[in-house]
Amino acid sequence: MRLSEFLVLAWCAVALVVSLRLRLPAPQRMRVITACLGLGAVVRLGAALPPEGLAGVVRNLLPGLYVLAAYRIAGHFFLAPDERLEAWLTRVDHAVLGPAHPEHWLRGQPWLLGLLELAYLSVYPMLPLGMWAAWSAGGHAAVDRYWQLVFPAEATSYLALAWLQARPPRALEPWTRDLQARSAIRVANEFVLSQGSHLMNTIPSGHAAGAVAVALAVASLGAPAAPVFAVLATVICVATVVGRYHFLVDTVLGAVVAAAWWGLWRAWGGH
């Protein structure tokens, strides 16, 4: 079993313990337990795949699905929004951004809105593309090291939903409803979220944590495409705030989580 696969099992164990310690309704607790056991079983099956050929490609890609599974599992921890937390996050955005707050200018910049929405959407293919860049730089061993950073950076952010429960700013700020009329890509993002998201806010931002982790992993593994991933990660982080998918605090914390895991990753030999 690869270390990256073991980390997924470890996350499942932690999520199980959290579900038992929190005062969750019985149906929600059972969904977490069942999903964690199911994910663990899939990881064990994936770990049995040979590293070569088509099976090896599938094994290299599977952790991207484990990330999505962790996100969905964490959604079952949500009970009710913390309105005081939401109010504080909103105040921080207005205090820090001031006149640069998107509410004051974004609706008048449809081209920029479209660009940022495309960047936000690109985080989904970014993970497998980062895996491919890692593989091209160092084969299967580099892929394992890549997921050793990317999975825990994202999954840690998702797990925090057990304690930090809030709605995303786009659900709290009525002016954002106008954005779909100004960008078809905004419509696409909203559709993706309506189909695959639990629609709650993750603090730290999983989008930011994942994008920054991918960029750091690819750069540390010596992939030639590292500058492209660095630029994309930066634009994705900006898009999370400007598009009101996340508060500023969420995105900053997401980048910090990725950097923290990167430091640990380098310490245990991920470079």
Give the mean pLDDT per block of 10 residues along the chain (271 residues): 95 96 93 97 95 91 96 95 97 95 90 95 96 94 96 97 96 92 92 89 96 97 96 97 97 98 86 50
Gap between the Cα atoms of 36 and 59, Å rounded: 19
Encoding tokens for residue 84? Answer: 């005081």
Encoding tokens for residue 127? Answer: 């993970």
Gap between the Cα atoms of 147 and 3, Å rounded: 9
- Taking CA 245 as the corner, what is the angle to CA 114 and CA 210, rounded to the nearest 5 degrees? 95
Continuous H helices in 173-225 = 184-196, 206-220
Assess if residue 136 is contained within a domain. yes
Assess if residue 135 is contained within a domain. yes
- Helix, strand, or coil (residue 201): strand
Gap between the Cα atoms of 209 and 83, Å rounded: 24
Assess if residue 139 is contained within a domain. yes
Predicted local distance difference test score (pLDDT) of residue 55: 92
Assess if residue 7 is contained within a domain. no
Assess if residue 38 is contained within a domain. no
Q: What is the pTM (predicted TM-score) of this model? A: 0.94
Q: Total domain count for the chain?
A: 1
Q: Which helix (H) or strand (E) holds 244?
A: none
Domain containing 226: what range? 81-267
Assess if residue 45 is contained within a domain. no
Assess if residue 15 is contained within a domain. no
Predicted local distance difference test score (pLDDT) of residue 197: 87
Assess if residue 25 is contained within a domain. no
